[in-house]
Structure 1
């Protein structure tokens, strides 16, 4: 009769699965011309989205201070992934938008994640992977952006 593994193994396996996917993504992104992308950058670019946002709104979405968001925006601007501009509707409001390079990194990330998912399906089978995803959906909040990435992974509030 099989015995259950200790309870602490589950979060560690989930975290390891996350790290394997993210590490493999970044290795491939580097090969495809995005060697400076870091895991946090992807979350930030997703949060900025195609419509753009402000540093204050970005901070709220990611659960970090406006100042921390501003520093991250500076880094991404220096790397060519975002640009700052004025809101056409309100000249006092600074808007952060993705550059073509930023959009390219997100498009490539989506394609690479699909390839990585297909690799996992090849190992455990498509049915089991779909069941795993359905189980994780049932056990986690529906809003993907409730993942408090900066809080969990060493960011500052």
Structure 2
């Protein structure tokens, strides 16, 4: 089977598949390196959840909204993150009836390592594609998917 010329227009359905393949390649490479650096149990959905919890923490309801999943599904995600040592539930200082979800030192470490690994992966792409070509790809994606459209609910969006 002959490979398509990368400089020719392809069918419309190929664009989202190519974008997803690039995303998947970056995320798979990230997780392979995270595993080598001591975080073998982190999965892509965990990364979205850790980002959604963030430095300031979140309640289960807030986490569910940020991820586009139910409060119950968010609770299950938090349970998994707790078992793995990436998050903890603590009393909410603003409301004793609520629990606040916070990142543990391990969760913060995983996010920091992820950021550093993504920098290395971007550098590898720049080396392969050329720095200007990669900047052009990023600029084109920013044009088509503006910054205010960035959302963490991809995991919930893929759920059936």
TM-score tier by shorter-chain length is over 0.9
> CA distance change for structure 1 residues 20 and 83 in 2, over 3 Å: closer, same or farther?
same
- Counterpart selection for 2:138 from 127, 130, 133: 133
What TM-score, normalized to structure 2?
0.91
Question: CA offsets per residue over residues 36-92 of structure 1, 9 Å max, x none?
Answer: 000000010000001110000000111100000000000000000000000112211
Q: Does 1:98 align with 2:103?
A: yes
Task: Spell out structure 1 runs of 4+ moving beyond 4 A.
Answer: none
- Counterpart residue number, 2:153: 148
State the 1:109 CA deviation: 0.1
Contact 1:29 1:35 in 2 (8 A): yes
> CA distance change for structure 1 residues 147 and 47 in 2, over 3 Å: closer, same or farther?
closer
SS in 2 for 1:59: helix
Q: Does 1:79 align with 2:84?
A: yes
- Counterpart residue number, 1:25: 30
> CA distance change for structure 1 residues 5 and 19 in 2, over 3 Å: closer, same or farther?
same
State the 1:8 CA deviation: 1.1
Extract unaligned runs of 5+ from structure 1: none
State the distance in 2 between where 1:139 and 1:110 align.
24
Q: Aligned Cα RMSD in Å?
A: 1.4
Aligned residue pairs total 154
What TM-score, normalized to structure 1?
0.93
